[in-house]
Structure 1
């Protein structure tokens, strides 16, 4: 019996050593993004994580470096419209992170916000500015945006990655953490060979999947800059969005989610900048729900008008048709104009945060606690604790 136990122990130690060697080799071949590297979902394809959602979920601890933060939230036009390197150069007084995720509605943006704030130490949340890129396409009803089998809970792209390695479990209210937040980076390293294998498979099978799905090859920056929308393009792009807004109006519940996000951020002591992003004039004129979005957004802004740390930037006048490479995304040579447009207002908010930080700590804590009571939730809630985050 002792011989069997001894042999089993030696085999276990040997297997453990071999797996540790495999982890080490994988880390050499596919280095983790450095903690000093900017957090940028646009860079996901160049990392072992490959997709934006996986990069966000598995690497979000990188946002939690001490100090002042400017965190961008939104969808693909925020991912591409505010490149971290270019934006950081114009926002020198804080660390810029882009945590936007392509294909999001407000439900997923709220979820990204909750995971982001949990990665940032409570003491640093009062030194954090959230910049939220908005347009009507974010206000799609969950039922249409995240279709799922009746009777089953909906699942966002973030949810898929949370569940993938059993770091979170499914519950009626949404994902529930199995591991403490601080252990996620260590768990990520423990399964690193699996993540690397998934990247290899995804890269190797990419051309086959694209051919099967009939996906168009990605355009170069030159092709995007040279793009001119044809009548057929306008028709197809407008028809696509009509499928998400059959009533001709945006989803009111998604505005409730945005309002909950702003309220929770302020309860944390964080500042918020709402950026009303432009779309080409031809597209705005073609869809009724863009007007409905504008009306509802102005009403939400009015509700927070008395808060000096909730600011707005309207870029809607930057709607020249020739500045866009489709119905929503700016051409590459226009992106620096987007960054320049928001730089001064965001820098002003960062300065206001600095001024507020010099106020007595007890006063700041009391204000945050009062906001939390009005919201009806604790200031360190889990992902789905804020009303409106899930249907």
Structure 2
């Protein structure tokens, strides 16, 4: 659930840009944006390294302190069980005060051995799944809508001012993220993402029909300006934004932190982000060309098809990871076990939680 808040922060930034762009000159917007990286740089100084990285470097005391900081500045004793579990997963001893690499039971892998880790099933399978979700999230139409919102709203003759419509779009995206953070713990990732893809697919399909009937072939809009029912595309475009950010636009980033083994997680997360940004770049880059070749209705039909076919594909390949331990998830992608599609929550239906309770 917490992993979905990172995308919510991104969308909050997008909303801020929409607001600034509505009321300020683009030069002033650029000047305002200089503040954010400076603030982020200062704040990151106070964030410790991750416990898993510190454990892998045999800095056990620092790892304990980092874990305690991340859990809310709690005492070292209160995080000891969790720390020992992390050490067990990494194959480390984790004795207090031992920060010497020479005492580590695991020898440092050679470069060739490290590269071989990325040829195994437990890397290719989850990486392919993450890449697929990134593709669906960018080519379901939402990426282009977010980038070319002003032109699209102008083309469909939105009854709302195109700049205000863009701000509403940003607000709705943020609300979608909030809904995801709230609901994913109860619905699980499978259900909420299937609803997200199917719902956004239907929305873009309706917009495609409207633009086809209204003879809106390009972003310049129709020759006549007296379009009837022009609230229809505006409503369904905004609804598509909400549904996209309830699920499929957030899912890849959640999976990135869950599906990779400890040995490959750091590099695999970087590669996952890279393929995500590549797909995002391509979706934006080819959108105008697609509108020129296939027209605006054809482009929206393509986006709708991606969403609906993607939902069918994810139904068969996406396991339910909500409430499952990282160990269980990595074992699933290793092929040693198979995750069920039930949502586990803290308490009576979460065996991992019961195990922790029995240790206390």
Please confirm whether the aligned pair reaches a TM-score higher than 0.5, indicating the same fold: no
- Which structure's residues are more often strand, by fraction? 1
Provide the TM-score with structure 1 as the length reference: 0.21
Larger radius of gyration: 2
Q: Which has the higher helix share?
A: 2
TM-score, scaled relative to structure 2: 0.23
